């Protein structure tokens, strides 16, 4: 296995585990006192917990914050020589150069994945979910979503390093 593949594999495993447990702790902290979580958000108070709101907003924030934070760690690893930059390719034509813009793009992509999950939930015609079930399923969703996101963020950062070198 090449150094770059090994590095990406390590990042996937670490990021999936860290984000799984973070999602578990955050969800438990925010929703642990409830018995059930409604699927739809309340129009009376948009900040009340709901499955759809949590998935869509949470997916966007995950992509945005994950990209912004993890990029800094990858840049540090590039400087230390733990991983090499990538040779230029056509990917640099679509990749936003500014970190904030890239984080926004990945946030929107993750939000679109969240919308697809909402579609699945709506197809199942569920009104509410037990909190314990939702917290575990949500943590699994976050851990799974972080896997392809990690690959994209690592590769974009490797390419960014080569472009700016």
In the prediction, which pLDDT does 28 show?
92
* Each residue's pLDDT tens digit, 2-19: 578 899 999 999 999 999
In the prediction, which pLDDT does 136 show?
94
- Asked if 162 and 87 count as a contact pair (C-beta separation under 8 A), the reply is yes
Residue 102 burial by Cβ neighbours in a 10 Å radius (0-12, 13-18, 19+): buried
In the prediction, which pLDDT does 88 show?
60
90 band by pLDDT with thresholds 50, 70 and 90: low
Sketch the domain layout of the chain as residue ranges. 3-164
Residue 45 burial by Cβ neighbours in a 10 Å radius (0-12, 13-18, 19+): exposed
Phi/psi at 47 (5° precision) = -90, -5
CA distance 72 to 79: 11
CA distance 96 to 102: 5
Half-sphere exposure of 26 (CA within 13 A, CB side): 13
User: How many other C-beta atoms are found inside a 10 Å radius of the C-beta of residue 77?
Assistant: 17
* Each residue's pLDDT tens digit, 31-87: 888 888 888 877 777 667 888 888 999 999 999 999 999 999 999 998 888 877 666
* Each residue's pLDDT tens digit, 23-32: 999 999 988 8
Give the distance from CA 156 to its chain's centroid. 15
Residue 74 burial by Cβ neighbours in a 10 Å radius (0-12, 13-18, 19+): buried
């Amino acid at each position: 296995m090449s150094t770059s593949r090994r590095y990406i594999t390590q990042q996937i495993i670490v990021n999936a585990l860290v984000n799984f447990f973070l999602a578990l702790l955050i969800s438990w902290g925010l929703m642990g006192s409830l018995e059930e979580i409604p699927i739809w958000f309340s129009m009376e108070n948009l900040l009340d917990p709901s499955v759809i709101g949590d998935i869509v907003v949470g997916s966007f924030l995950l992509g945005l914050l994950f990209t912004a934070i993890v990029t800094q760690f990858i840049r540090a690893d590039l400087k230390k020589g733990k991983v090499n930059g990538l040779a230029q390719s056509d990917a640099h034509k679509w990749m936003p150069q500014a970190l904030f813009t890239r984080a926004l793009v990945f946030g929107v992509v993750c939000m679109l994945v969240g919308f697809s999950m909402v579609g699945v939930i709506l197809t199942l015609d569920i009104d509410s979910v037990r909190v314990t079930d939702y917290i575990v399923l949500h943590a699994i969703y976050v851990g799974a979503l972080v896997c392809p996101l990690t690959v994209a963020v690592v590769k974009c950062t490797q390419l960014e390093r080569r472009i700016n070198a």
